[in-house]
Chain A
Amino acid sequence: IDKIFKDDAMEEKGERARMASFIGAMAVADLVKSTLGPKGMDKILQSTGRGHSVTVTNDGATILKSLHIDNPAAKVLVDISKVQDDEVGDGTTSVVVLAGELLREAEKLVASKIHPMTIIAGYRMAAECARDALLKRVIDNKENPEKFRSDLLKIAMTTLCSKILSQDKEHFAEMAVDAVFRLKGSTNLEAIQIIKKPGGSLRDSFLDEGFILDKKIGLGQPKRIENAKILVANTAMDTDKVKIYGARVRVDSMTKVAEIEGAEKEKMKDKVNKILAHGINCFVNRQLIYNFPEELFADAGVLAIEHADFEGIERLGLVTGGEIASTFDNPESVKLGHCKLIEEIMIGEDKLIHFSGVEMGQACSIVLRGASHHVLDEAERSLHDALCVLSQTVNDSRVLLGGGWPEMVMAKEVDELARKTAGKKSHAIEAFSRALVAIPTTISDNAGLDSAELVAQLRAEHHNEGCNAGIDVISGAVGDMEERGIYEAFKVKQAVLLSATEAAEMILRVDEIITCAPRRREDRM
């Protein structure tokens, strides 16, 4: 009668529960471990859905998002990597690897009979101390715009060097920094449009100052407009229905049908005339434009673009400074958008519409070119990471050196703290510093270098006050990170540190796992 749960429910207690969650979390961490660092490898993900579509990626968040995991502790790690992606955009792999290492160390401590609560207390102290250590060494160049720009450029390059774009990282870093500077401090990445067009090579990708809409120009309409006045609209241009509920057409003869049809046409014509009364020469609508009104627009020499998606419209409104209109009765008070030139351009073999010389320089487009869709998708993800990091750094301009430097700085401080702390907590603090060192170790392991040798060298270097040494994976030696220009954003490192500690703490606190009976699905025959 000891059974109190439902049939399929499971209960795991004490040591077993802890082991299950440690193993699950570490398995996930090991899975993404090999993608860490500039020489990290990629993973192929094949979806189980129809088409078995394939993704090739190096992005931790993307990999973890597509896993189907049953282990509850592993889910916690997937969750933190997702949040890291949303909040700062980069460091998604590092956060999982660090959390995994913290748990690996914790497992050893638990095995040597240290209570999980003691470990947590130690980890907390260590995390606090590590953060302070970083804060002491941050570099802030906000005052000096030129230097700040070069900092950003270096951060972008560091972020990109672990991705597929590493071959052309200077090119892409320039692009990303330019794009982010145009945002003028806002973190709204919506304003940066990324268009992917297969063909050409990655090097052919470019940043366009204007705005590119992936649409075609209607037949018989001008292909090039200078000094365009644009009306951005969201209105039905097919058949403008009567919206009063329950209204319907009921007639008793064919002539009446014709009459009503005429009236409908008249109504549409009215609408078009009203739109034309705004004195525009370009009309962009979110919804469809039927042939009849399109013809009317063509007659009036107005460029009409139909079916721009919602984001495209919003962005266009943002770029040209026009408002998104749905009614057209007061032409004098509707704000129109302006741009110097609209023309049709060709990228590869696709025709696109290009708006240049726009009023507000906030938005811009990045056109990515590449050999295949997989390359383009991965390039987009990498660029997105870089853009995220940059836009966050613009707001919080503190930067750090990269290449394992921050980890070593933290580890050193934490080690010092461990020596000063009395009681069992010091073991946990020591373990924390070991977990931190595991990151440069992994980076050099992934690059096929002798990690033990390099990390030992690095540690010795860091014994000197104010040293800038880190691991330069390209040359395979310890070097001055400042000279090599490897920088990282402080915000990313801080988020990695704090969320990894939080996740490890959460998993450590668990002493029992109760799995409910899975919900029975009705078998649909």
Chain B
Amino acid sequence: MALAFDEYGRPFIILREQDQKTRLKGIDAQKANIAAGKAVARILRSSLGPKGMDKMLQGPDGDVTITNDGATILEQMDVDNQIAKLMVELSRSQDYEIGDGTTGVVVVAGALLEQAERQLDRGIHPIRIAEGYEMASRVAVEHLERISQKFEFDADNFESLVQTCMTTLSSKIVNRCKRSLAEIAVKAVLAVADLERKDVNLDLIKVEGKVGGKLEDTELIYGILVDKDMSHPQMPKQIADANIAILTCPFEPPKPKTKHKVDIDTVEKFETLRKQEQQYFDEMVQKCKDVGATLVICQWGFDDEANHLLMHRNLPAVRWVGGVELELIAIATGGRIVPRFQELTPEKLGKAGLVREKSFGTTKERMLYIEHCANSKAVTIFIRGGNKMMIEETKRSIHDALCVARNLIRSNSIVYGGGAAEIACSLAVDAAADKYPGVEQYAIRAFAEALDSVPMALAENSGLQPIETLSAVKSQQIKENIPFYGIDCNDVGTNDMREQNVFETLIGKQQQILLATQVVKMILKIDDVISPSEF
């Protein structure tokens, strides 16, 4: 096959060393790819929804992660198959773009692939299927736009935001205290949000975790939390109205970058050098004191002598603070990061109402709270929990909730969750299918059927009869022409998602459908897989 002949009848090789490569062609290639994609989707399917199960992942170094977050599961499971990697990418891009719905996007893609396989068996050409999917996705996205609702909130009235975040958190292990966590997430986002420009910089929200305590102890700090303590054990543990000098230069003698040598050959030189050194330390501390700083935060270490001088002059200091934290402190306190002592001026100092050190548990663990900052634009969410895995999972859940809140501030349209949006789309797509002449009609219908898989999986995971429940909800939606009916996962007794307060963001849902369609189209277009064989 890979052997061709030129006009003189001589063979020439198109594919080098083809006997060492495995090759799949045509319909086989598509079938194999679809099977791989489906396998990935099948793993995630049981994690969907509020009653979804968790996965336990053991990393290459024996570390254990327990999670429910689609993106994390896929990232950690270390897949080898090319198509499976595509699915991992898919979930990751949903994570980057929206931050939530990472499981849903993979489930939708898996369902689309499954339907495509059926169409392939009927003999429809993959490109026609891909085109049909494309048209269908457009219909679905438009329909979502139509059924979406705006909802109003402002800085004081954020109940609706909290409700949406709670929908996100309800599928995680932290759902025990989803109310308080959702409130924390919303307050954090509102604190840093620019409501005029409708933008939120999530970098300003730091999520910090510490093992111990209860999940309920998780708190929002209007300020910065630094996992460091004062450089000298006898420095004051609490400073009110601190003026903070933020330094990136070490409290050490200067180290010129050019190569140089200071030769000591006489006693006098030795003496002068010694004096200079002492003076140098003195000057550094004096400089900080002169500009009126009451706290020094330094990226580098201090010499013992400098440390004592600081302590002696009653100037508390923190050393070895990381670059990111330093930046956040600078933003929060309105200070400037100063790279040299000479450039230290009173205007460049940051201001904070209260800086305090707090210790935890029986071990010697301390953290530094910097609160009541001049510019309260930086906040910290401090997570406590029973063990390390719990904290990590809570961090991921909070991240999702933060992203949802941010998306809502960007655009305040929502659709209803619990599979309601998918069912509504499925109905719309199904109705639209009849308008298209040609083979694509079948692909569009297949798309509609694939969308049903999300509510189906939700029902299945919640222990309901999937087909029965889905058809009941579907007929209810058609009968009353209201797109708010979804799957009642929590066994509340009503299918009306408005009553259950289950919302999702419009852009999140739209993105899910678009991304999944794109990836599926890409997979369908592959008709030849060449891979080096195992050796």
Q: Which of B53, B81, B233, B389 contacts A317 (CB 8 A)?
A: B233
Q: Which of A89, A506, A517 contacts B66 (CB 8 A)?
A: A506
Give A252 to B264 CA distance when docked, in angstroms.
Answer: 11
Given the interface pairs A86-B361, A242-B270, the reply to whether A506 lies near B389 with Cβ below 8 Å is: yes
Of chain A, the residue at the smallest CB distance from B304 is: A326
Interface SS of chain A: mixed
Per the 8 Å Cβ criterion, residues 41-80 of B in contact with A are 43, 46, 51, 53-62, 64, 66, 68, 73, 76-80
**Complex interface: stretch among A167-175, A187-195, A342-350, A363-371:** A187-195
Instruction: Chain B residues near A263: list those with CB within 8 A.
Output: 267, 270-271
Give A244 to B40 CA distance when docked, in angstroms.
Answer: 60
CB A185 to nearest CB in B, in angstroms, measures 12
**Complex interface: stretch among B112-120, B126-134, B308-316, B370-378:** B308-316
A117 at the interface (CB under 8 A from B): yes
B39 at the interface (CB under 8 A from A): yes
B390 at the interface (CB under 8 A from A): yes
CB A16 to nearest CB in B, in angstroms, measures 12
Given the interface pairs A245-B254, A263-B267, A334-B312, the reply to whether A324 lies near B80 with Cβ below 8 Å is: no
Does the CB pair A80–B176 fall under 8 Å? no
Does the CB pair B265–A89 fall under 8 Å? no
Given the interface pairs A86-B361, A86-B363, A327-B305, the reply to whether A249 lies near B43 with Cβ below 8 Å is: no
Instruction: Chain A residues near B259: list those with CB within 8 A.
Output: 246
A259 at the interface (CB under 8 A from B): yes
Interface SS of chain B: mixed
Does the CB pair A189–B211 fall under 8 Å? no
A267 at the interface (CB under 8 A from B): yes
Give A256 to B269 CA distance when docked, in angstroms.
Answer: 12
**Complex interface: stretch among B142-150, B159-167, B272-280, B480-488:** B272-280
Give A247 to B272 CA distance when docked, in angstroms.
Answer: 12
B322 at the interface (CB under 8 A from A): no
Instruction: Chain B residues near A264: list those with CB within 8 A.
Output: 270
Does the CB pair B307–A326 fall under 8 Å? yes
Does the CB pair B56–A327 fall under 8 Å? no
Does the CB pair A506–B54 fall under 8 Å? yes
Of chain A, the residue at the smallest CB distance from B88 is: A4
Per-residue contact bits, chain B 231-264, to A (CB 8 Å; 1 contact, 0 not): 0111000000000000000001111100111111
Does the CB pair A511–B58 fall under 8 Å? no
A207 at the interface (CB under 8 A from B): no
Does the CB pair A2–B390 fall under 8 Å? no
For the complex of A and B, 10 pairs with smallest distance between CB atoms: A326-B308, A511-B53, A519-B60, A4-B84, A509-B54, A4-B81, A247-B262, A72-B64, A245-B255, A515-B58
29 of the cross-chain contacts (CB-CB < 8 Å) are A5-B77, A5-B78, A5-B80, A9-B77, A17-B56, A76-B64, A76-B389, A115-B463, A117-B51, A187-B362, A188-B364, A247-B273, A248-B261, A248-B264, A249-B265, A249-B270, A250-B264, A262-B267, A267-B274, A325-B312, A326-B307, A326-B308, A326-B309, A327-B309, A498-B214, A502-B390, A511-B55, A512-B56, A516-B57
Q: Which residues of B contact A (CB under 8 A)?
A: 32, 35-36, 39-40, 43, 46, 51, 53-62, 64, 66, 68, 73, 76-81, 84, 173, 176, 211-215, 232-234, 252-256, 259-267, 270-271, 273-274, 276-278, 280-281, 303-305, 307-309, 311-312, 359, 361-364, 385-390, 463
